[in-house]
A = this chain, B = another copy of it.
Amino acid sequence: MPESKSPLSGVTVIDLGQIYQGPYATFLMAQAGADVIKVEPLHGEPLRRSDLRGEGPSFPLGFLNSNKRGVTLNLKSEEGRGLLQRLVARADVLLENFAPGTMERLGVGAEKLMTANPRLIYASGSGFGLSGPDRDRRALDVTVQASSGVMSITGAEGGPPMRSGPALADFLGGVHLYSGVVTALYERERSGRGRLVEVAMQEAVYPTLLSDLGLMYRGGGVQLPRRGNHHGAVAPYNVYPTRDGHIALLCISDEHWLRLLQAMDREDLRDDARFASPVTRTENVEEVDAVVEAWTRELTRDEVCKLTELHRVPSAPVRDLAEVTSDPHMHERGMLHRIDHPELGEVVLPGSPIRIHETSIPELVPSPSLGQHNDELYGTWPGLSEEEIAGLRERGVI
């Protein structure tokens, strides 16, 4: 998979990642040209062996593991751990997102591996990090959304705290972990040494709270109640229904509001004291919404979009997933690819959001089947014979 002119060509990654956080970090590495070896237990990583309803192959697995090579390895066997150490001896990066302490318990912890290979970058993704009183609390995207404060600021006015639909804790964790590994690769060019890199999902999420943290400080330490699609200090700022969908629309400045009045053909409201400033519009947010909604309800989503664009009022159509996956813009830019995946059939899969001009982008290669590259990898890298590989299989090592 490595491309000669890709930014991370020549970098070899042992990828013990599972589910979302770890595999997204190594997905970004593979897309930047690293040689990523996805190492799975003999029954596959959790995402492969269970898609929760137990039907057919897992789309998320296919989504996150393009351009990786796949091997199996039983880390619960002595021989398997020995094989891991042989792989690690020649690797630049080992990445895992097991519960903290798992690798130590298996006898292949960071310290041991980095002593054997001082240039190794050992990357650990977890919910709460490798230290501190909460280290061993179990973490999933949804529980991190709860404990990190994300749920407390999402949801309708008067309603319960709500989950954000996107898996933001996993992915913010994953991309920060990628960042940490590449930062350590850069540092290694000077120091000659690998580093232990760690990212906690809860910490990766924290910065995203800053608007609400600011409003809390302004309120003397008291958090604003949940406010659905409202902003709290800007109006209009909402999601409005149209004849055939929804549109998000907001006016940050008075100029936006005056232009919106033009778009709505409601310039009779120009001098209305209720709508004269952001402060009075926020105080009269229900009347503001009523005026805007009376207009949007009569039009289609695209008609509203056309008018707000013409009058330069910040807005966007609320698009569904089918629209997004077939977005001509992202397809034209090469971010999205429609491919025929051997296990999933025809699906749209993404490339990397990180775009570095004048470096080569690998062609998208579908995710490996379980153990697809066992013969190829074990035959060339530790250089085992066919008989040795057959023996490993028989003994349940690979």
A350 touches B247 (CB 8 A): no
Assess whether A172 is interfacial by the CB under 8 Å rule: yes
Q: Determine the distance from Cα of A317 to Cα of B155 in the docked complex, in whole angstroms.
A: 16
Among candidates B214, B216, B319, B359, residue contacting A51 with C-beta atoms closer than 8 Å: B214
Among candidates B204, B250, B329, residue contacting A133 with C-beta atoms closer than 8 Å: B329
**Interface residues of A: mostly helix, strand, loop or mixed?**
mixed
Asked if A354 meets B197 with Cβ closer than 8 Å, knowing A160-B229, A162-B156, A166-B153, the reply is: yes
A239 touches B160 (CB 8 A): yes
A276 to chain B, nearest CB (A): 14
User: Please, which residue of chain B has its CB at the minimum distance from the CB of A195?
Assistant: B356
A 199-214 contacts with B by CB, 8 A: 199-200, 202-214
Among candidates B143, B195, B353, residue contacting A314 with C-beta atoms closer than 8 Å: B143
Asked if A324 meets B148 with Cβ closer than 8 Å, knowing A175-B175, A228-B162, the reply is: yes
Asked if A176 meets B354 with Cβ closer than 8 Å, knowing A146-B247, A324-B209, the reply is: yes
A102 to chain B, nearest CB (A): 16
Which chain B residues border A371 with CB–CB below 8 Å? none
B208 touches A168 (CB 8 A): yes
Assess whether A140 is interfacial by the CB under 8 Å rule: yes
Which chain B residues border A193 with CB–CB below 8 Å? 358
B59 touches A217 (CB 8 A): yes
Assess whether A234 is interfacial by the CB under 8 Å rule: yes
A 307-338 contacts with B by CB, 8 A: 309, 312, 314-325, 328-330, 332-333, 335-336
A210 touches B7 (CB 8 A): no
A353 touches B162 (CB 8 A): no
Assess whether A189 is interfacial by the CB under 8 Å rule: yes
A 50-73 contacts with B by CB, 8 A: 51-53, 55-56, 58-60, 63-64
- Interface size class of chain A, counting residues whose CB lies under 8 Å from the partner chain: 35 or more
Q: Determine the distance from Cα of A380 to Cα of B198 in the docked complex, in whole angstroms.
A: 37
Among candidates B60, B155, B319, B322, residue contacting A146 with C-beta atoms closer than 8 Å: B319
A199 touches B132 (CB 8 A): no
Which chain B residues border A206 with CB–CB below 8 Å? 324, 330, 335-336, 350, 353
Assess whether A266 is interfacial by the CB under 8 Å rule: no
A210 touches B151 (CB 8 A): no
14 A-B residue contacts at CB 8 Å?
A27-B207, A52-B278, A59-B217, A146-B239, A152-B320, A155-B156, A162-B162, A168-B168, A195-B356, A197-B354, A198-B357, A202-B330, A206-B324, A216-B321
Assess whether A362 is interfacial by the CB under 8 Å rule: no
B164 touches A317 (CB 8 A): no
Q: Determine the distance from Cα of A7 to Cα of B7 in the docked complex, in whole angstroms.
A: 18
A179 touches B250 (CB 8 A): no
Which chain B residues border A210 with CB–CB below 8 Å? 20, 59-60, 63-64, 167
Which chain B residues border A7 with CB–CB below 8 Å? 183-184, 186-187
Q: Determine the distance from Cα of A358 to Cα of B121 in the docked complex, in whole angstroms.
A: 12
Q: Closest 9 interchain pairs by CB?
A: A153-B165, A166-B208, A59-B214, A164-B164, A143-B316, A146-B248, A154-B165, A149-B324, A7-B187
